Structure 1
Amino acid sequence: MNPIKIFTDSTSDLPRQWVEQYEIGIVPLYTVFGNESLRDGVDIIPEQLFKRVSREGRLPKTAAPSPADFIQYFSPYIDQGMDILYISLSSDLSSTYQNGRVAGGEFPEGRVHVVDSKNLSCGIGLLVMKAVKAVRNGLGIQEVVQVLEEIRPRIDTEFVIDTLEYLYKGGRCSGMQNLIGSLLKIRPVIKVIDGKMTPAYKVRGKREKAIDQMLSNALSQKDNMDLELVIVVHALAEEDALELQKRLQEQTGAEVALATAGCVICSHCGPQTIGIIYAKKS
């Protein structure tokens, strides 16, 4: 049985210490300003992205890694005799998954396994950490894939978006919706359902009210929550994230980690976005 190298992409928003500790390979997506393609987390970080959007008044486009990018990242490990397990951004949101599969087809059969997370951000990251644990427990690559496919539909990912501005600039809501939302202080809450970003509900009023509602939703599943790992992810909202982490730990006893959203997630959701991700028990 060949050793396994776990890969994911930059949209997994994994904390840097986990990436280094568990030697997880990261394939970056791109944020594209005009003719300038910047690798997420390598050439540009969220603080720089937000400053540039504010200065230029427009959002970047985002782009998947090409099959050639994947081949470049995978090849050194294949040459070392390792098998690749790549856990991708949802195939419903990007061509990243498909491009990873195309790249995998360029290697000998069975050497590259590509799993569609059907998720984004730390919803992917949670699956990656489950894969890390399974590999460290000695499971073979097919067994790890089976574990991930069993857990995948039980991942719960919910975000509070602080402003409609980025959804408007990205063409995901109209100018009138943006204006009314801003005037009424409407904060949309997004859930990932069947691999897609789905508006779940809207909260009118203070930001804290929306965060409290998201926390209440998570706590309603406390008895059904896998307490091994819960993740709070944020985009330039560290103070709120720390408070959310504390409250979740106190009220569930879970291991609650903090993560920061990368540029691809930030370019769609905007600053001050905050989310809770966990798995439900089988």
Structure 2
Amino acid sequence: MDSVAYATKEWLEEHGATCVPLSYHFQGESKPEEKPGEFAPFFRAFQESDEWPTTSQPPVGVFQEVFDRLTANGDEVICITLSQKISGTYNAAMLARAQSRSEQIFVIDSTLAAAPELYLAELAYQAGKEGKPGAEIAEELQQVIPELRFYILVDTLDYLRRGGRIGTVSAALGNILHIRPIITFHEGALTSFDKVRGAKKAVEKIIDSIPEDARWIRVQHVLAADKAEEILARLRASHPKADVGPAEIGPVLGIHVGPGTIGVAFR
């Protein structure tokens, strides 16, 4: 998987999984994206800086090295990436697969990012433990993807403006009127789900969008742990049978939405 799945070091070790990092360039340095628990220093520096970071996908050669190493002993590989409509990571993995000339590699475009990627990786791991072949696992994941949803609520429109996703006037008016856009993925692309006046109403809109029979829910955040915990408490009470838990959003996705952002993913 790529780093935008935001798997913890513990999860990677426990599952024997490999994370291929995307990178970001900021304040004269290029760095591979860190793991959850390590994001705060970047976001604090980002808040205080006028510089806009840039991000880059993993090189094809990095994917190829990982694929060659993992298939050397005959193992099959399930590689899950963030949506190809917001990053070239999927295409890089597909090129590496072609160069490896292996039929044991299955590259999956999650059409999403962050927690849904990690959820798919967990499903793949469990299916592998059951002895299912790679082709069957890949097919099962493709059937699950349309059932996943991911809503993102930003704290301020300034970061969307700085990233060029909305205009300066729209951002200024939105902040003055306390308009909060709820962003989602549609067919792999980031798009507006709704625009709500006031953060509390926006949170209610997202919570109301989660069906009663949801089986898996993740609340992600960018430097907003307290806000995320309040939402988690409500969802644990309203969905007692669901797997409800917290997660973080890192630099590669977080620079576009900014600190204070909340993301809610569910199936």
TM over 0.5: yes
Match of 2:244 in 1: 256
The aligned amino acid for 2:133 is G
Work out the CA distance in 2 between the residues paired with 1:54 and 1:155. 31
CA apart distance, 1:35: 5.4
CA apart distance, 1:125: 1.5
Unmatched 5+ stretches in structure 2: none
Q: Deviations over 1:135-185 (max 9, x none)?
A: 122211000001001101111111111111111111111111111111112
- 1:21 to 2:9 alignment: no
- 1:239 to 2:229 alignment: no
Aligned length: 265
The 8 Å contact of residues 3 and 21 in structure 2, kept in 1 or not, is answered as: yes
CA apart distance, 1:17: 2.9
Work out the CA distance in 1 between the residues paired with 2:71 and 2:46. 39
1:213 to 200, 205, 208: 205
Work out the CA distance in 1 between the residues paired with 2:245 and 2:206. 17
- 1:222 to 2:209 alignment: no
- 1:135 to 2:159 alignment: no
Work out the CA distance in 1 between the residues paired with 2:10 and 2:205. 30
The 8 Å contact of residues 15 and 259 in structure 1, kept in 2 or not, is answered as: no
CA apart distance, 1:250: 1.3
TM-score, with length taken from structure 2: 0.93
CA apart distance, 1:66: 1.0
Match of 1:91 in 2: 84
The 8 Å contact of residues 58 and 169 in structure 1, kept in 2 or not, is answered as: no
Alignment of structure 1 residues 39-50 onto 2, 5 Å: 39-41=32-34, 45-50=38-43
Work out the CA distance in 1 between the residues paired with 2:77 and 2:171. 43
CA apart distance, 1:106: 2.0
The 8 Å contact of residues 162 and 188 in structure 1, kept in 2 or not, is answered as: no
Match of 1:82 in 2: 75
Work out the CA distance in 2 between the residues paired with 1:187 and 1:199. 10
CA apart distance, 1:40: 0.6
TM-score, with length taken from structure 1: 0.88
Match of 2:50 in 1: 57
- Hey, which bits of structure 1, 4+ residues long, moved more than 4 A? none
Work out the CA distance in 2 between the residues paired with 1:16 and 1:187. 33
Work out the CA distance in 2 between the residues paired with 1:99 and 1:188. 31
Alignment of structure 1 residues 160-179 onto 2, 5 Å: 160-179=153-172
CA apart distance, 1:19: 2.1
- 1:275 to 2:263 alignment: yes
Q: Deviations over 1:23-68 (max 9, x none)?
A: 22111001122753211116x9432222332333122111111101
